[in-house]
Amino acid sequence: MPLAAQPDTAPPPAATLESTDPATGEVVGRFPVADAAAVGAAVDRARTAAQAWAALGYDGRRRRLAAWRGHLARHLDELADLVHRENGKPHEDAVLEITLAVDHLAWAAAHARRVLGPRRVRAGLLAANHAASLEYQPLGVVGVIGPWNYPVFTPMGSIAYALAAGNAVVFKPSEHTPAVGVRLAESWRAAVPDLPDVLQALPGDGATGAALCRAGVGKLAFTGSAATGRRVMAACAETLTPVLMELGGKDAMIVDDDADVAAAADAAVWGAMSNAGQTCIGIERVYATEAVHDAFVAEVTRRVQRLEPGTSYGPMTMAAQADVVRRHVEDAVAAGGRIGAGGTDPGTGRTVAPVVLLDVPETSAAVREETFGPTLTITRVRDAEEALALANGNPHGLAGAVFSRSRRRALDLARRMRSGMTSVNSVLTFAAVPALPFGGVGESGFGRIHGEDGLREFTRAKAITRQRVPLPVPLMSFDRPAGATAALARFVRLVHGRHR
């Protein structure tokens, strides 16, 4: 029998996405790009899976999340190797990243019932004849769109908490790290073979992400730049899909008069240069008081000079990001800034040498905009109050750090820092504490992953009242006796009227 001719309307072959090792240019993974139809089909499968996942209850989900955690832990080195090859960061840093993600997964699974499960609340005087209860129900399917800089830890901040809250997840990894995203979903299927569609990964670029925004998911958790975040919000607005926005930062460190300068310098260099500076909560600006500035700069210089490309930090994951870093350094120098330590310039090619910039005007791009590279501006300030004012004078507000030996002073500065997270006498630590919420203010986004808030983020609150006994005098009924509301008004005046 002759083969039927292909109709003219046959869809074109799916485009292919290729990821490469930033250090060698070798191909790491090749995947078909998920188009709108593939996204729709995945969300449909996830909807069915979400019902079975929710029906399992907290214990059933906890057992399966533990199996996944076990699988990730047993294959940690393989996954770290893949992260190293696809993102460029040193293997050891990839191990650290995955360890943190596994820890969050354990916390989310262990605490979901306590945080989200049904609980009685006081019904209050007016509804004293009712029992009132509150619980947090899953949204169904959560769409997760992730970046490439921490290709395991960052999306897992949404995925782990959304799953523990009883949702299925459709994950669109960054086009720069699709193999890591696909591996996460594979590990899920290997560990939880009875419910393979509860976590799916869809490789693709911005168009795939945009299709996910329009696919009718219960919530869209986005991590990436503010520019893309705006596009995601606009697309989600079409279907009133709620969003979580984890965006970029320009985090500052304050080094106060009484700080341990060596510890502050060590933390600043790690916070700024690890992961080649491609850390949303990386330290990009330091404000050091007169009293410590020179010693701090000297200590930072000593430490930056010891950094080795390849072992201390890898190449930039994206070639285009290296250009942004160079532009910021050039702009800072043109505006009167000095290169204080590290390479005399950031170099050419994909590996950017760490650069410390001194005396950079606050109006320069290196101080205003997210650099996302291994640079650090250090600015001399009169005192910690001036440091705080400058730290807070940026549209971003993700995280930050304060170094001071005075606990009271440090906590006061930390509280007044305009950011979602602040660490005292360390950097980035809040990200390693699963019980603490993670998220920003201003241009750094809104909503929270991690901790109790992170679990609730992927749920809707459900309120239930149950009448235990009827009221002798019904107030919300057309059978209400005359004079009932007058008695109520007397009661309100008695209870509340004395407050002035």
Among 148, 171, 287, 430, binds ligand NAD (CB under 6 A): 148
Closest CA to 448 of 463, 435, 429, 461: 435
Q: How far is the CB of 372 from ligand NAD (least distance, A)?
A: 6
Which region among 19-27, 102-110, 221-229, 324-332 touches ligand NAD (by CB under 6 A)? 221-229
Q: How far apart are CA 32 and CA 16, in angstroms?
A: 4
Closest CA to 252 of 213, 282, 212: 282
Rounded (10°) angle between helices 178-191 and 153-164:
30
Residues with Cβ within 8 Å of residue 440, at least 6 apart in sequence: 246, 247, 249, 396, 397, 398, 399, 419, 420, 446
Tell me the sheet residues that pair with 397.
Answer: 441
Q: How far is the CB of 370 from ligand NAD (least distance, A)?
A: 5
Among 29, 146, 354, 454, binds ligand NAD (CB under 6 A): 146
Residue 205 interacts with ligand NAD (CB under 6 A): yes or no:
yes
Among 43, 82, 89, 154, binds ligand NAD (CB under 6 A): 154
Residue 159 interacts with ligand NAD (CB under 6 A): yes or no:
no
Query: Is 246 assigned a catalytic role?
Result: yes
Point out the catalytic residue in the list 86, 97, 175, 280: 280
Q: How far is the CB of 33 from ligand NAD (least distance, A)?
A: 11
Point out the catalytic residue in the list 97, 175, 246, 443: 246
Q: How far apart are CA 345 and CA 43, in angstroms?
A: 47
Residue 398 interacts with ligand NAD (CB under 6 A): yes or no:
yes
Residue 34 interacts with ligand NAD (CB under 6 A): yes or no:
no
Query: Is 280 assigned a catalytic role?
Result: yes
Among 46, 106, 112, 145, binds ligand NAD (CB under 6 A): 145
Chain residue whose CB lies nearest ligand NAD: 209
Q: How far apart are CA 148 and CA 170, in angstroms?
A: 17
Q: How far is the CB of 282 from ligand NAD (least distance, A)?
A: 8
What radius of gyration do the chain's Cα atoms show?
A: 26
Q: Which of residues 333-392 bind ligand NAD (CB under 6 A)?
A: 370, 372
Rounded (10°) angle between helices 153-164 and 57-74:
160
How many residues bind ligand NAD (CB under 6 A)? The answer is 32
Q: Which of residues 238-267 bind ligand NAD (CB under 6 A)?
A: 246-249
Which region among 69-77, 139-147, 351-359, 456-464 touches ligand NAD (by CB under 6 A)? 139-147
Q: Edge-to-edge strands of the sheet including 130-138?
A: 119-121, 130-138, 459-467
Residue 272 interacts with ligand NAD (CB under 6 A): yes or no:
no
Q: DSSP secondary structure string, 192-233?
A: -TT-GGGEEE----HHHHHHHHTTT-SEEEEES-HHHHHHHH
Residue 216 interacts with ligand NAD (CB under 6 A): yes or no:
no
Region of 161 please: left (phi>0), alpha (psi -120 to 50) or beta: alpha
> Which residues form the catalytic set?
246, 280
Question: Which residues make up the interface to ligand NAD (CB under 6 A)?
Answer: 145-150, 154, 172, 174-175, 205-206, 209-210, 213, 223-225, 228, 231-232, 235, 246-249, 280, 370, 372, 398, 440, 445
